[in-house]
Amino acid sequence: MKRHILVSEKSAAISAIARALDFPEWFGQNLDALYDSLTDLSWLPAGEYTLIVPANLDASVSEVLRDAAKQTAESGDRKVRVIRTER
């Protein structure tokens, strides 16, 4: 499943990612909660989830996405893939 994240500012990007992946209501809206949720995804069916993000995405959010993608590639049945785009 591919989801486009069209915002680059930190809090807006975190919120957009949470909406795109239907994060649970208890999601904490911060970088630690973002990483924890991206490396869990137990509320979604098994498979690969692709996030398409702008190249100018906030650096701290980009780092969390990179780390989560690496972690899920190594284990689990729910993978996070991140694609950066100029648009």
Residue 71: give its domain's CATH number: 3.30.370.10
Confidence of residue 86 (pLDDT cuts 50, 70, 90): confident
Q: Has residue 54 been placed in a domain?
A: yes
Residue 3: its pLDDT value, please? 58
Residue type, 54: P
* pTM of the shown model: 0.87
Within a domain: residue 3? no
Count the domains in the chain.
1
Is the pLDDT at 56 greater than 80? The verdict is: yes
Q: Is 1 among the domain residues? A: no
Domain range spanning residue 79?
A: 9-84
Quote the pLDDT of residue 5: 58
- Look at residue 2 and tell me if it is in a domain: no
Q: Rounded to an integer, what distance in angstroms lies between the CA atom of residue 84 and that of residue 36?
A: 21
Question: Rounded to an integer, what distance in angstroms lies between the CA atom of residue 60 and that of residue 8?
Answer: 11
- AA letter at 52: I
